Amino acid sequence: MLTYQSYVQGLEDKKRLTPNGAEYWMARDLQPMLGYASWENFESAIERARMACESAGGSTTHHFHATTNMITAGKGAQRERADLALSRYACYMIAMNADSGKQEVGYAQTYFAIQARRQEVQDQLAGTDRRLELRDRVKSANKNLTSAAKAAGVQKYGVFHDAGYKGMYGGIGKNGVQLLKGIPPNEDLLDCIGRAELAAHEFRDSLP
C-alpha cells in the first residue's frame, strides 16, 4: 500500500540539483509519480500548468525547460525523446492541474505545498537577516559620521544629524519623519523602516 511517507521518499529520490543547488525534476520521472501511464495524458496536465504559470506572470521557459534525452528503441537503436526539466514551482502547478482523483496527485499536492511554504519561511528569515546586517552597517556609518563631525569641530551633534534627515526627507527632521510614519517617539526610526530606505541612509552617511 502506498503511504505518504514512501511517496515523499520517491519524490526525493527523483529530485535533481543544478550546479548552484536549485532543485528540479524531470517530467518523465514525475509522470509515473503522478499516476500517469500515458505521456500524452500527462502532457495535457503539463500544458494546463504551463498556462496557469503564464497567467500568474511566471516565466514558463524558466520553470518548464524543454530538453531531450536518448533512449534505446527496438534492436538497440538510439533515438531522442522529448522531456522537460521542471522547477519545484512547475511541479506544484502540474500537481494542482493533474487528475485530483489519483492518490498520487493528492500526495504530490501536499508535498509541494509544504515545500513552497517552507521556502517562504526561509526567504522571510533570510530577508530579516539581511535587514539586520544592513541596520548594523547603518549604525556603524552613523558612528563614523559622528567621529568625522567631531574632528571637524561640530559640537551640536543632534542638529548636525537632523540636518542629514532634512536633506533626505525634503526638509523634514527626524521627529517629523517619525510623526508622518506613525512611529512612536521612544522608538528609533532606523529600526522601523525597510531595507531600501535603510540602504539610502547608509549611502547618505557614507558620503565624503
- How much is the pLDDT for 16? 92
Q: What digits encode the pLDDT tens for the residues 81-105?
A: 889 999 988 999 999 999 989 999 9
Going edge to edge, which strands form the sheet with 64-72?
Answer: 16-17, 23-26, 78-87, 64-72
- How much is the pLDDT for 41? 94
Element (H, E) at 117: helix 103-151
Q: Which residue has the cell 523602516?
A: 193
Q: Which residue has the cell 571637524?
A: 152
What is the pTM (predicted TM-score) of this model? 0.56
Cβ(26)–Cβ(14) below 8 Å: yes
121 vs 126: CA distance, rounded Å: 9
Q: Mean pLDDT across the chain, nearest whole number?
A: 80
- How much is the pLDDT for 126? 59
Instruction: Taking residues 18-46, report their average pLDDT.
Output: 92
Confidence of residue 196 (pLDDT cuts 50, 70, 90): low
- How much is the pLDDT for 195? 65
Confidence of residue 136 (pLDDT cuts 50, 70, 90): confident
156/60: higher pLDDT: 60
Confidence of residue 131 (pLDDT cuts 50, 70, 90): low
Distance of CA 9 to the CA centre of its chain: 24
Using alpha carbons, select from 57, 14, 52, 18 the residue that is nearest to residue 34: 14
